[in-house]
Amino acid sequence: MKDYVVKKVITRASIGIIALAGGSLVYNNYQTRSHLTEYHQKLHTTAFASAPTWQLAKTLPAPVERYIRFTFPNGVPALAVTEVTMRGDFRLPQHQDFNPTTARQSLSPALPALVFEAKTPIYPGIWALAYDAYLNGEMEMKAKLFAALTVMDQPQSVELNRISLRRWLLESPLYPQALLPGKYTRWEAIDNTHARVIAEYQGLRTSMIAEIDNEGRLSSLRAENDGDLNTPYHGSGEYAARSDYRLINGMMIPHKFTIARHARGVDYPFWRGELTSYSASLYPQQ
């Protein structure tokens, strides 16, 4: 009888512990989702509070002029925010295998700002939510198992903020107004198929080399310096290839992509896939 009572107590205690752990996971997952919702909303609010700063310059490098003619065939829409969803294959930092991944981004061309979140499997039955939020010139970067248990929380740093500014440039073909000359962006000529795009924001500067074909399609953006392949995060990556351009909301938007790290002359892809949805929010007409 005594053993039966002991087993019963242990069983009830185990059930209670499991229930508490499960409840904690559910609560932490909810907190993470709410946090991300706030970030997406904050990006929208900040973007709509910021007037567009881009303009069509009279003189630009020849490949950039081709890109603008190709990208905006009927004038430049007053884009404030774009939201995209993606699917594809993702490789964790310092790993070799790719896993099926879905992701969502909110992005603003009016000022450097983005929010990215991705769900990817880690082991069978175990998945993680990784997210980056770059707002007001500062980056937050985390990864959480089941969107609840923190496994990576990258400390704030000037270097991360600079990488995030480059990330804003690297993703810019999805919100091409960001590549028009303006308060934060300018171009320098290189040759008939390449030009340097420079972004400056809150005292930080970054640049990438754009490759633009004869039709005006921006086929790739490449950083000018090697990446550190030993970091626990991919950051922006150093190379992005774009293809499958389609006309959406008056803009030619690439729907397929490959993002890669780069060091010592070699590209190391880590995120490749396609857009599954594209939504544009425009400034109200004046």
Say if CB 111 and CB 46 are below 8 A apart: yes
Q: What is the reported pLDDT for 124? A: 85
Per-residue model confidence as pLDDT tens digits over 211-267 = 999 999 999 999 999 999 999 889 899 999 999 999 999 999 999 999 999 999 999
Is residue 51 very low, low, confident or very high in pLDDT (cuts 50, 70, 90)? confident
Percent of the chain scoring above 70 in pLDDT: 91
Q: 13 is written with which tokens? A: 């205690």
Angle at Cα 39 formed by Cα 35 and Cα 40, nearest 5°?
Answer: 120
pLDDT value of residue 14:
36
pLDDT digits (tens, 9 = 90+) for 149-207: 888 898 889 999 999 999 999 999 999 999 999 999 999 999 999 999 999 999 999 99
- Closest to 280 (Cα-Cα) out of 247, 257, 256: 247
> In the structure, what pLDDT confidence band is assigned to residue 210 with cuts at 50, 70 and 90?
very high
56 compared with 77, residue with greater pLDDT:
77
Q: What is residue 22's predicted lDDT score, i.e. its pLDDT?
A: 54
Please report, in angstroms and rounded to a whole number, the separation of the first and last CA atoms in the chain. Answer: 82
- Report the Cα 191 to chain-centroid distance in Å: 29
Question: What pTM value is reported for the model?
Answer: 0.88
